[in-house]
A and B are shown apart, each in its own frame.
Chain A
């Protein structure tokens, strides 16, 4: 039998030829694209987009308004707006003296102090509620903590000055007398016994931001994957080790974002600080026993006498700085949270 070279066109001839094979048309991966767009879809899309745009437009409008009213007043300022820390003199609106150095220091100081007190306490409450508390107790405890958020801030202010300050007075006096080698406890420009100091205000502010941090942390800790907790328990971990190895790493970014929310609230708190913090005539000196104004309480203190657009503009300029400060703090918080989440 002779071996012949087979005809490649015959089937099964050995050399595989690339036969033209009809490829199906590539389908887009987006399942919604190309589907029929009905009227309801269009309306809903418009509403959703409209809401998003509205919010951005609103924020932009507020920013523009603040700038527009602040700039004429800044032009009439005889001092450097960022480095002047003394008394605001705005009676003669053609030559005003105002600056935010003192306001910025007091705002940041009292907010950070409140945050440092509130963060550990909120962490403890959230862990207790989600990991340690029996089911019957966790519910009412959550309710009580959330009730703290419902108290109006003016009630906090009045309670802080009239009830809490006298109670804290012996403790504050002891700190001032015995620990005043530390800059935090030196005598400041408000009297320690009078109670209108950053010490009292910071503690009240901590109570005010506690429910926010606790609520966010609680929601995040509750979502720790059951599997990881079970695995840790199975490996013989104690309660605390379970929390330390599974709950905390998982919930840390949520906890931090809750803390930043609380910080944002603390930066903008107006009435409580207006009532508690005493006004001062000398510079802020980074001690807990100083008084002073924050941005918001400075504006609120004079709001009823804004009878001139330049005088109002000076205070609106302070409001603009607070607006930007809160913006920056929130962006930084988001960056931190996003960075951790990406790991």
Chain B
């Protein structure tokens, strides 16, 4: 498509321009790998062979895919990623123990300064690389299509709507008879980025209904908690009348039905394209190359055909301040992840990057010195 080729051309010129800038600005070590691309592959493969990263478990499978692609595009390269949780990942990044961190949320305000210290006085950037859709899985016999919206979800998870045949739900599901059973909401009982993003979504999309704030612990006041995504899937499967929020891939693997979300312009199913539309409409919180998303704009999107409940996970990198080897390796990995690594993402349950977004992301990656 015309747009794709414009995007590609843009990326190539941006890469060439930043190569020229990079060679002068970044370090005086001449063996910095910016000039040594392997013959026959379009990937830059410079820098050290072993990268380390740590953090979010939500993006673990995506990182594994990216690592495979990186190893194929650049032989001998490997990233060891440790899924210890977003909080631990950010901490280890600030403590200089790992090259970059994978995190379900951008750096907290108190951490921005410490991260800048870690990067030798330069700011750390949040680059959203992996998007995972969050599904509303439910267990209702005989109901094959269920439509909800943020308002109804907020009330369900606060315990205000207690039965499936409540008029608020019935209004969205004309043509389906909902049974007179109790609703059993299921939440994540462990500290989780999915919970954080779900609560942020409810706060952004239904602010007059959701009164409980956000955070990685569920604060809604109703329901039962299960341990990790596997636990939520099992709970929904075992409990008639249950509804729970969980990442798409474990729920799809178990064969659970997903509810469709209505943002005001009709029910939207959870598909890659619908999620991409929501991502494409998201705005960034700041100008410049720190691409932390303004999550309110993502979650309160009213665009037709967009599925808003998407978990954005970031790679937190230094904008400058890496030694030359690390910097080249990080850039190489991120570029391969954004290009070759996107091929198998959908099968792994994540959303491939929309094109305009990818271009913007690669622009920031190139600006890493």
Task: Answer whether A291 and B224 are a contact pair too, CB < 8 Å, given A279-B189, A302-B191.
Answer: yes
Interface status of A75 (Cβ within 8 A of chain B): no
Cβ-defined contact, A279 with B224, below 8 A: yes
Contact count A vs B, C-beta below 8 Å: 89
CB proximity to B under 8 Å, residues A273-289: 274-275, 278-282
Interface status of B88 (Cβ within 8 A of chain A): yes
- Which of A125-133, A159-167, A328-336 lies at the interface with chain B? A159-167
Chain A residues positioned under 8 Å from B85 (CB to CB): 304-305
Chain B residues positioned under 8 Å from A280 (CB to CB): 224-225
Cβ-defined contact, B242 with A191, below 8 A: yes
Say how far B124's CB is from chain A's closest CB, in angstroms: 16
- Rounded to whole angstroms, the CA-CA distance of A2 and B225 in the bound complex is 118
B183-207 vs A, CB cutoff 8 Å, 1 = contact: the mask equals: 0100101110000000000000000
B226's partner among A278, A293, A304 (CB-CB below 8 A) is A278
CB proximity to B under 8 Å, residues A34-74: none
- Rounded to whole angstroms, the CA-CA distance of A267 and B184 in the bound complex is 29
Interface status of B331 (Cβ within 8 A of chain A): no
Chain B residues positioned under 8 Å from A307 (CB to CB): 87-88, 90-91
- Which of B34-42, B212-220, B305-313 lies at the interface with chain A? B212-220
Chain B residues positioned under 8 Å from A8 (CB to CB): none
Report the count of interface residues on A (CB-CB < 8 A). Answer: 31
Chain B residues positioned under 8 Å from A165 (CB to CB): 238
Cβ-defined contact, A305 with B234, below 8 A: no
Chain A residues positioned under 8 Å from B234 (CB to CB): 161-162
- Closest residue to A298 on the B side, CB-wise? B189
Interface status of B288 (Cβ within 8 A of chain A): no
Cβ-defined contact, B215 with A193, below 8 A: no
- Rounded to whole angstroms, the CA-CA distance of A279 and B190 in the bound complex is 9
Cβ-defined contact, A91 with B240, below 8 A: no
Interface status of B227 (Cβ within 8 A of chain A): yes
Interface status of B84 (Cβ within 8 A of chain A): yes
Q: Is the interface of B mostly helix, strand, loop or mixed?
A: loop
- Closest residue to B84 on the A side, CB-wise? A304
A301's partner among B86, B159, B190 (CB-CB below 8 A) is B190
Cβ-defined contact, B184 with A194, below 8 A: yes
Interface status of A88 (Cβ within 8 A of chain B): yes
Chain B residues positioned under 8 Å from A253 (CB to CB): none
Cβ-defined contact, A301 with B191, below 8 A: yes
Cβ-defined contact, B239 with A88, below 8 A: no
Cβ-defined contact, A304 with B224, below 8 A: no
Cβ-defined contact, A194 with B242, below 8 A: yes
Cβ-defined contact, A166 with B238, below 8 A: yes
Interface status of B222 (Cβ within 8 A of chain A): yes
Interface status of A89 (Cβ within 8 A of chain B): yes
A77-120 vs B, CB cutoff 8 Å, 1 = contact: the mask equals: 00000000001111100000000000000000000000000000
Interface status of A196 (Cβ within 8 A of chain B): yes
Say how far B314's CB is from chain A's closest CB, in angstroms: 16
Cβ-defined contact, B227 with A189, below 8 A: no
- Rounded to whole angstroms, the CA-CA distance of A223 and B220 in the bound complex is 57
Interface status of A190 (Cβ within 8 A of chain B): yes
CB proximity to A under 8 Å, residues B79-109: 84-88, 90-91
Interface status of A258 (Cβ within 8 A of chain B): no
Q: What are 21 A-to-B residue pairs whose CB atoms are below 8 Å?
A: A87-B217, A89-B217, A91-B217, A161-B231, A161-B234, A166-B238, A190-B224, A191-B184, A191-B239, A193-B238, A278-B225, A278-B226, A281-B218, A281-B220, A281-B224, A301-B190, A301-B191, A305-B86, A305-B191, A307-B87, A307-B91
Please report B residues at the A interface, Cβ cutoff 8 Å.
84-88, 90-91, 159, 184, 187, 189-191, 215-227, 231, 234-235, 238-240, 242
Give the 7 A-B CB pairs with smallest separation, nearest first.
A279-B225, A279-B189, A194-B239, A304-B85, A307-B87, A278-B224, A305-B191
